[in-house]
Amino acid sequence: MTSSQQTTQVSDLPLGLGVRLITSNQHGLVALDKPAGLMSHPNNEREIKRSLLQANYDYDDEVYTWQIGDVKHRAWLINRLDSPTSGVILLALNENINTTIKQRFSTHQVNKVYYALVKRVPSVPAGSWSDVLKKDVYRGKKVFKGGQSIPAKTGYQVVKTEAGGFPIALLRLKPLTGRTHQLRVQCKNHRHPVVGDRTYGSFGFNKEVAIETGEKRMMLHSAETSMRYPYQGKMHDFKAASELPEAFNQVMRFRPGRNVVKAPALNVRPSSLAGRRFRR
């Protein structure tokens, strides 16, 4: 084996700012903890410093590439998270495990759990959402907006609510299908937009939460990914978990008149919080 063919190790990964290793195994399967605001991959060289790995990315092959000395390294991106979403994201350090795990994703044999802070408390504390989402269709240079209808299903459960603060609930979400922006769109469709979502959220409510708490991020977190997968003639288990970020607790704990954000944090004048009635 020449030096240019050496297998990439976890210690070789050029982790992006704030990215943390959760776990890895002997097959080259790696779970990282992505902070909110970082991209799963850069779309151009200017975005490399804001991505999961600070390395070049081949969009067609979905692989990061970089070089250390004379050694060329690669790491395949198995799944993606939206830039505002934090939590568990998977990489593969060799092509075989990448193919294996992506096949598990494509056949819905990967268990994923998300947590979201949403506006309003669902009237039914647990259940499932089944929707038909619209997807753009690309034909050559033409784009047909909403040209394809695709089914989306998500299980939900109310984990926590807080009286006396914002009208919000912490939901445990389990997507049973994997569609682009699925959780964000379904939360919106069922009148429980994710707090801080700048695309599908309640903009006035988001602004109010940001002013009062100083927390401006989208409150959606990939908390757990687990699966069984076949490799080298045997079945194996893999599980990675990420703790709920403190920002979620900060918003949940907020009470008018008790938690006052100083003006410089958001460059606004804080309002009087006593007796405040929040948007519902």
The one-letter amino acid code at 160 reads K
Confidence (pLDDT) at 265: 41
Query: pLDDT tens across 180-218, in order?
Result: 899 999 999 999 999 999 999 999 999 999 999 999 999
What does the alpha-carbon distance between residue 78 and residue 98 come to, in Å, rounded to a whole number?
A: 6
Taking 60 as the threshold, does the pLDDT of residue 268 lie above it?
no
Who has greater pLDDT, 260 or 105?
A: 105
Q: What domains can be seen in the chain, in order of their start residue?
A: 1-107 (3.30.70), 111-226+241-280 (3.30.2350.10)
* pTM attached to this predicted model: 0.87
Contacts of 16 (CB under 8 A, 6+ apart): 34, 38, 49, 50, 51, 52, 53, 54
What does the alpha-carbon distance between residue 251 and residue 194 come to, in Å, rounded to a whole number?
A: 13
In degrees, to the nearest 5, what angle opens at C-alpha 209 toward C-alphas 125 and 166?
Answer: 40
The one-letter amino acid code at 176 reads L
Q: Does the annotation mark 136 as catalytic?
A: no
- Scanning the structure block, which residue is given the tokens 């210690």? 11
Contacts of 116 (CB under 8 A, 6+ apart): 170, 171, 173, 183, 187, 194, 195, 219, 220, 221
Who has greater pLDDT, 235 or 178?
A: 235
Confidence (pLDDT) at 195: 98
Confidence (pLDDT) at 143: 62
**What region, left, alpha or beta, does residue 164 occupy, with left being phi > 0 and alpha being psi -120 to 50 degrees?**
left
pLDDT band at 62 (very low <50, low <70, confident <90, very high): very high
Which residue among the candidates 12, 58, 70, 82 is catalytic per the annotation? 82
